[in-house]
């Protein structure tokens, strides 16, 4: 009974580990919608006393960073992508609240970025253009949207020339570009309407994050970058410098932790099952030495004796699996909210769990079965 219970728990833990590990693999292999290789990001929070001072600081910083050896492009953003943070609001589109079919949300996620931001990320510009250095505070207000914005609020038509702006702020910008949908807050978020302003055209300039694309090892550019920043302000530190991929990996840290814990407990359960089954079978073989000797004296072949022991092991395994699968299904449904790209009844996870238990059972039975097959009939009879 104890071995069967161990088998059942092992099936449950292996299924849970399989579901969570597959979830983690799906998240790690989810396309971000841009090229994260070679990207490094860091934050800055300079002492700024006026809008023009802030704009001039970031203009000069961008120009200096572009001149660094190995730097291919530089982008600025107010909200760091992959940080889990975002600004969201209901926007007016062409001067009115947009009609959303089926009661959908009018919420739009927005950010303020600098020139060449999408070029730096490697996000394709599908229509129009991205922000330029000429998009200054005195130039006409321009904005960029993503595919989901055009699909949901403009019925998929060409968005160029349409206007949008926050519902409670009298700012209306003209759409000059549309970019491909890409991940923003986290790896596992679904597509959401996005809008971008040029930071030089909005009345808020303070803490910003800088995106650098370079060749080779991304973090190798940080010493030179830090030197440039200190030349402009010796007291200004780089805030949380890291690769852009590492920033997104932080958004799945809980899934990583759950997958590792599930894998650890799955391995522990396998070890307990193997030791428990081995101990049980070894004990039973030692108690059946005389019986095995008589069987072999009566003509039983070694293969028949081995199968007798293995059959007992496989029977225990079958009972344990039969009891563990329903429990594993319940656990899978309980984990549904933590899964990504995999269902609670994922067949591969269940097959691998049952196959793993069967392999463990056979491995744990091998030595007792071999020992039984090597029993000498006369020696066995003398043990009585």
| pLDDT value of residue 114 | 93
pTM: 0.78
Per-residue model confidence as pLDDT tens digits over 279-331: 777 777 666 666 666 776 677 677 777 777 777 778 888 888 899 899 999 99
**Helices marked H in the chain — which ranges?**
2-28, 51-66, 117-121, 147-153, 222-232, 244-249, 253-287, 289-297, 302-334, 347-373, 377-382
Cα separation values, 10 from 6, 14, 29, 88, Å: 6, 6, 28, 45
How many Å separate Cα 30 from the centre of its chain? 7
In this structure, what token pair is assigned to residue 132? Answer: 């330029």
Per-residue model confidence as pLDDT tens digits over 258-285: 888 888 888 888 888 788 777 777 777 6
The 10 Å Cβ neighbour count of residue 187 is: 20
Residue 341 has pLDDT above 90, yes or no: no
Alpha-carbon Rg for the chain in angstroms: 32
Residue 245 has pLDDT above 60, yes or no: yes
| pLDDT value of residue 80 | 93
Q: Quick one: pLDDT band at residue 226, thresholds 50, 70, 90?
A: very high
| pLDDT value of residue 275 | 81
Per-residue model confidence as pLDDT tens digits over 64-111: 999 999 899 999 999 999 988 888 888 888 888 887 766 667 788 999
**How far apart are the C-alpha atoms of 253 and 55, rounded to whole Å?**
35
Residue 381 has pLDDT above 60, yes or no: no
**How far apart are the C-alpha atoms of 216 and 67, rounded to whole Å?**
17
| 326 and 11 Cβ atoms separated by less than 8 Å | no
Q: Which residues lie across from 143 on neighbouring strands?
A: 175, 197
Cα separation values, 92 from 97, 157, 168, 169, 170, Å: 5, 17, 9, 10, 10
| pLDDT value of residue 77 | 94
In this structure, what token pair is assigned to residue 121? Answer: 């990320």
| pLDDT value of residue 50 | 85
| pLDDT value of residue 311 | 79
Per-residue model confidence as pLDDT tens digits over 109-150: 999 999 999 999 999 999 999 999 899 888 999 999 999 999
């Amino acid at each position: 009974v104890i071995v069967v219970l161990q088998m059942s728990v092992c099936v449950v833990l292996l299924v849970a580990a399989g579901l969570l590990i597959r979830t983690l693999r799906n998240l790690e292999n989810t396309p971000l919608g841009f090229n994260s290789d070679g990207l490094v990001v860091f934050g800055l929070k300079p002492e700024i006393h006026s809008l023009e001072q802030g704009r001039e600081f970031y203009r000069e910083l961008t120009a200096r960073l572009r001149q660094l050896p190995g730097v291919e492009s530089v982008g600025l953003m107010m909200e760091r992508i992959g940080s889990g943070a975002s600004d969201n609001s209901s926007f007016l589109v062409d001067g009115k609240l947009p009609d959303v079919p089926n009661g959908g949300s009018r919420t739009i996620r927005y950010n303020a970025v600098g020139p060449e931001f999408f070029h730096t990320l490697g996000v394709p510009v599908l229509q129009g253009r991205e922000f330029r250095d000429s998009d200054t505070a005195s130039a006409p207000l321009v904005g960029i949207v993503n595919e989901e914005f055009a699909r949901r609020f403009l019925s998929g038509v060409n968005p160029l020339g349409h206007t949008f702006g926050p519902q409670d702020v009298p700012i209306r910008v003209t759409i000059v570009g549309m970019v491909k949908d890409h991940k923003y807050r986290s790896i596992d978020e679904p597509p959401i309407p996005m809008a971008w302003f040029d930071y030089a055209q909005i009345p808020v300039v303070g803490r910003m994050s800088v995106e650098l694309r370079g060749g080779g090892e991304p973090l190798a550019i940080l010493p030179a970058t830090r030197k440039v920043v200190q030349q402009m302000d010796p007291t200004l530190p780089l805030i949380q410098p890291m690769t852009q991929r590492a920033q997104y990996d932080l958004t799945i840290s809980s899934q990583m932790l759950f997958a590792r814990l599930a894998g650890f407990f799955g391995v522990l359960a396998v070890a307990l099952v193997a030791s428990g089954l081995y101990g049980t079978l070894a004990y039973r073989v030692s108690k059946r030495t005389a019986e095995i000797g008589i069987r072999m004296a009566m003509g039983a072949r070694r293969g028949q004796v081995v199968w007798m022991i293995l059959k007992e092991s496989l029977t225990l395994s079958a009972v344990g699996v039969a009891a563990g699968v329903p429990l594993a299904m319940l656990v899978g449904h309980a984990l549904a909210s933590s899964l990504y790209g995999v269902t609670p009844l994922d067949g591969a996870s269940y097959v691998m769990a049952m196959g793993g238990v069967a392999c463990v059972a056979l491995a744990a039975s091998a030595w007792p079965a071999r020992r039984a097959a090597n029993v000498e009939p006369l020696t066995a009879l003398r043990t009585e």
